[in-house]
Amino acid sequence: MPLPPLSAIRCFEAAARHQSFTRAAEELGMTQAAVSYQIKLLEERCGPLFLRRARGVALTEAGRRLAPAVTEAFESLRAAFEDVGQSAEGVLTVSAVNTFASHWLVPRLGSFQMSHPRIAVRLDVTGRLVDFTREEVDVGIRSGGGSWPGLAAHRLRPIRYTPVLGPALLERCGPLTEPADLLRLPLIDPDDPWWAEWFAAAGVAAPDLSRRPDIRVGTQQFGASLAMAGQGVAILSPAFFPEELASGRLVQPFPLVHSPDASYWLVYPEARRRSPKIRAFRDWLLAAVAEGE
């Protein structure tokens, strides 16, 4: 025998608990007539469950046998959903681009964990755009213009970049007097669009850099390591490498730091903006960014 409609069972459980159709309707946000109708549908399948009296209702023998099992079933459902909700709110999955994650976010995550000890952070470092509708990701840190349909976006910091190299390569190649001099050196990730944009901002008509047989690593972190090892010139965000620049392990040969119309953004689905763990991370991250500026 198939189960009766869940809406009818729900009305029966509330009415049996309260011994009142009126109070059941108030709890469920329904009219008394709607509750009465749902219970009538149930009684057409199960027989009389309530005795209608002038001053209320009372359970029949069948109703008294059914009520504890139904109440226990609903309590099990409530407990199951509560466990799932607590588990979901206990782990925050963050998708972030590599350099922002390793050079800015990770060194600061400890303060978030101290402020929110009940939220565990799982960091997913990736260069691709995650699909929030298909993947178990709560928030993302993306680069771009800040407009993604269905996502709330909070600007974190602008993207700025400039060429850097190690002192050993600078010593070998001699002084660099103008930006075009970089074209005679090995470039790290020459097909990165940042190179073409920086050369254009510097007034250099650069050739098609994508055809150069130079080193390709795909991340600023690895690019910085190669540059410090004297293997080539990398194009990086200097804000992520302040110690390397201050110590001289990386050298910025020209003062031009290009800032395109793009930034790093915190994003998450609009529909989840009220999630406590997302709100907690958003508020902490925006405050941390503001403090560092």
| Fold (topology level) of 90-159+261-292 | D-Maltodextrin-Binding Protein; domain 2 (3.40.190)
CA distance 65 to 281: 49
Cα 119 to chain centroid, rounded: 14
Q: What is the pTM of this model?
A: 0.65
pLDDT confidence of residue 32: 92
Q: Which residue has the higher pLDDT, 140 or 218?
A: 140
Radius of gyration of the chain (CA): 31
User: What CATH architecture does domain 162-247 belong to?
Assistant: 3-Layer(aba) Sandwich (3.40)
- Give the residue-averaged pLDDT of 62-73: 89
- Give the residue-averaged pLDDT of 208-237: 86
pLDDT in tens, 174-222: 789 999 999 989 999 988 889 989 999 999 986 777 777 678 887 888 8
CB 173 within 8 Å of CB 206? no
pLDDT in tens, 142-162: 988 888 888 999 999 999 999
90-159+261-292 and 162-247 have identical folds: yes
pLDDT confidence of residue 293: 55
User: What CATH architecture does domain 6-88 belong to?
Assistant: Orthogonal Bundle (1.10)
Per domain, the residue ranges of the chain are: 6-88, 90-159+261-292, 162-247
